[in-house]
């Protein structure tokens, strides 16, 4: 395995760990939100979170810690893929 492939595996492992830890800490809120104010589907809520994160980046906020911003964005995108898969499994 070459060094690029190894680094890809390392980064993906970090993202997996981050998502699993956040999922445990927040009670699966990304895919099973409490729906107190918003009644939107999880996929739509994840898109809003992505928009908010990208809006802060575009406005120059949150750029200082670029790694966290990148991990958050990748994490939200992974969760969006998972949510879409769940939607497809549930659809008749």
pLDDT digits (tens, 9 = 90+) for 71-92: 989 999 999 999 999 888 887 6
pLDDT, tens digit (0-9, with 9 covering 90-100), for 28-55: 999 998 889 999 999 999 999 999 999 9
Q: What ranges make up the beta strands (E) of 16-85?
A: none
Tokens of 32: 């099973």
**DSSP H/E element including 14:** helix 3-26
pTM: 0.85
Q: Please name which of 29, 40, 36 lies closest in space to residue 76, comparing C-alpha atoms.
A: 29
* Cα distance between residue 42 and residue 82, in whole Å: 10
Query: Could you give the count of Cα atoms lying within 13 Å of 60 in the half-sphere of its Cβ?
Result: 0
Q: Could you state, in order of their start, the residue ranges of all structural domains in the chain?
A: 3-90
């Amino acid at each position: 395995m070459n060094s690029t492939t190894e680094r890809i595996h390392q980064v993906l492992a970090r993202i997996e760990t981050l998502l699993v830890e956040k999922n445990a800490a927040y009670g699966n809120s990304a895919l099973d939100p409490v729906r107190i104010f918003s009644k939107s589907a999880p996929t739509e809520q994840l898109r809003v979170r992505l928009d908010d994160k990208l809006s802060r980046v575009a406005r120059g906020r949150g750029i200082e810690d670029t790694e966290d911003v990148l991990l958050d964005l990748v994490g939200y995108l992974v969760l969006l893929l998972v949510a879409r898969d769940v939607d497809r499994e549930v659809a008749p």
